[in-house]
């Protein structure tokens, strides 16, 4: 029953996106051409990757507000590395970006798991800290196009079958994440520890550890995006992707990932990100006053969330939520430790 509703949701969201594209192309001819659509997907790639990381965290009833700051820090770090040592091969730099991102994500995970700080507070703190560190690292200076190597900047732009490598990276990440979430023990642990922590505990899943690794995953993907972002806009400065963490949360929420944890699909998160991507790309071309754009973006998110809330209510999960909130699991966790 649940999977049928979920399927229905994703289909519906997909249909809404198609309808939007059709409507926009009425006002802006050429909007629905394959070339432009590939461009939109490419433009949304970074959001998709970040949203998948955010989804892992949200599934465990947490939230990661530090993704954009993590992106800014790692982006700055690899840009400076590239500028200082142009000889370092690109795969190594991308590996470094993901490693730095993973460490920053692990810091979040550590605070939530071991110290027990609520995720929203912990990552609100690291959001500021990571941006601050990016400032400390760079001294506030920009890393400019001329300082970075052309391999560093142009590799994500290489087109392959009409889609730049940047977009292919997103497709690869989607495929890997889909397998991990649906076919591995870690994936099941993510859903279980958010959906019903008590039951997860009795099933032998360490909820805290699962959360930790969800944060590490989110951080790693943010690190990867740090590189992609800097390469895409050919500049690194402290304020890159400011406020982007909210877009990743919005993509998840629109895609039907329950902020209460345990519900949501990879397809949902991807469609949620694409939905935002289509709107963001359409607003400049359909000639809507910039003064209206922000209001429209916000309105669309609220409508999506309203729709979400109704969907969730229908499932009647209240009893389980109460059980999860009672002191029993905490005591059991103590006993298990």
Partner 1 sequence: MKLFARLALGTALGLALVTGAASAETVKIGLVVKSLGNGFFEAANKGAQEAAKELGDVEVIYTGPTSTTAEGQIEVINALIAQKVDAIAVSANDPDAVVPALKKAMQRGIKVISWDSAVGKDGRILHLNPSSNELIGNMCLKLAAAHLPDGKGDFAILSATTTSTNQNTWIAEMKKQLPKYPGLNLVTTVYGDDLADKSYREAQGLLSTHPNVKVIVAPTTVGVLAASQAVKDAGKIGEVFVTGLGLPSEMAGAVHSGATKEFAIWNPIDLGYSATQIAYRLVKKESDGKPGSEIDASRMGKIKIGADGEAAMADPFVYDKSNVDEFAKIF
Can you give the binding site for partner 1, defined by CB under 8 A?
A: 28, 30, 36, 39, 43, 139, 142, 144-146, 157, 232-235, 240-244, 280-281, 283-285, 287, 290-291
For partner 1, the closer CB: 148 or 324: 148
Which value, to the nearest 10 degrees, does the dihedral of the CA atoms of residues 300, 252, 9, 174 take?
130
Both tokens assigned to 88: 């370092």
Angle between helix 34-59 and helix 207-233 axes, rounded to 10 deg: 150
Q: Using CA atoms, how far apart are residues 317 and 323, in angstroms rounded to an integer?
A: 10
Answer left, alpha or beta for residue 196, where phi above 0 means left and psi between -120 and 50 means alpha: beta
Compute the distance between CA of residue 189 and CA of residue 86 in angstroms, rounded to an integer: 42
Helix (H, G, I), strand (E, B) or coil at 234: coil
Question: Least distance from C-beta 322 to partner 1, angstroms?
Answer: 42
Cβ proximity to partner 1: between 156 and 264 the closer is 156
Nearer to partner 1, 135 or 186 (CB): 135
Specify the residue, 234 or 332, whose C-beta has the smaller distance to partner 1.
Answer: 234
What minimum distance in Å lies between the beta carbon of 47 and partner 1?
9
| Closest approach of partner 1 to the CB of residue 33, in Å | 10
We find the least distance from the C-beta atom of residue 50 to partner 1, in angstroms, to be 12
Planar angle of CA 256, 258, 261, nearest 5 degrees = 145
- Contact yes or no for 275/17 (Cβ under 8 A): yes
DSSP state of 145: G
Closer residue to partner 1 (CB): 145 or 184: 145
> Based on CB atoms, which residue is closest to partner 1, 34 or 290?
290
Helices (H), the chain: 2-27, 34-59, 67-84, 90-110, 119-138, 150-154, 165-183, 185-195, 197-202, 207-233, 244-254, 266-282, 290-315, 318-325, 328-336
For partner 1, which is the closer residue by CB, 137 or 235?
235
Q: Which two tokens stand for residue 182?
A: 């649906």
Minimal distance in Å, beta carbon 170 to partner 1? 15
What span, in angstroms and rounded, lies between the C-alpha atoms of 223 and 96?
A: 8
Shortest Å distance, C-beta 128 to partner 1? 18
Tokens of 336: 């298990």
DSSP character for 206?
A: -
Smallest gap from Cβ 54 to partner 1, in A, equals 17
Closest approach, Cβ 244 to partner 1, in A, equals: 8
């Amino acid at each position: 029953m649940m999977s049928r509703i979920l399927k229905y949701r994703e289909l519906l969201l997909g249909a809404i996106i198609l309808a939007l594209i059709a409507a926009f192309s009425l006002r802006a001819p050429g909007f629905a051409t394959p070339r432009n659509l590939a461009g939109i997907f490419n433009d949304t790639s970074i959001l998709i990757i970040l949203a998948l990381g955010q989804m892992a965290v949200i599934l465990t009833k947490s939230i990661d507000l530090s993704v954009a700051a993590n992106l800014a820090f790692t982006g700055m770090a690899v840009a400076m590395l590239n500028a200082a040592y142009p000889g370092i091969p690109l795969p190594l730099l991308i590996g470094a970006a993901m490693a730095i991102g993973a460490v920053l994500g692990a810091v979040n995970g550590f605070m939530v798991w071991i110290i027990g700080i609520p995720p929203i507070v912990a990552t609100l703190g690291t959001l500021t800290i990571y941006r601050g560190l990016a400032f400390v690292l760079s001294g506030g200076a920009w890393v400019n196009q001329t300082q970075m190597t052309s391999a560093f900047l142009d590799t994500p732009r290489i087109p392959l079958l009409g889609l730049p490598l940047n977009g292919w990276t997103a497709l690869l990440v989607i495929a890997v994440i889909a397998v991990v979430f649906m076919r591995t023990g870690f994936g099941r642990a993510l859903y279980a520890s958010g959906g019903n922590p008590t039951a997860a505990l009795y099933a032998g899943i360490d909820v805290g550890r699962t959360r930790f690794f969800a944060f590490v995953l989110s951080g790693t993907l943010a690190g990867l995006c740090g590189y992609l972002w800097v390469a895409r806009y050919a500049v690194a400065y402290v304020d890159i992707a400011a406020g982007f963490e909210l877009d990743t949360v919005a993509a998840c929420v629109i895609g039907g990932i329950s902020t209460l944890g345990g519900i949501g699909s990879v397809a949902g998160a991807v469609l949620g990100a694409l939905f935002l991507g289509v709107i963001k790309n359409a607003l400049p071309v359909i000639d809507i006053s910039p003064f209206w754009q922000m209001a429209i973006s916000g309105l669309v998110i609220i409508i999506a969330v309203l729709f979400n809330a109704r969907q969730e209510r229908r499932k009647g999960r209240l009893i389980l939520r109460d059980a999860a909130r009672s002191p029993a699991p905490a005591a059991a966790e103590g006993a298990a430790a």
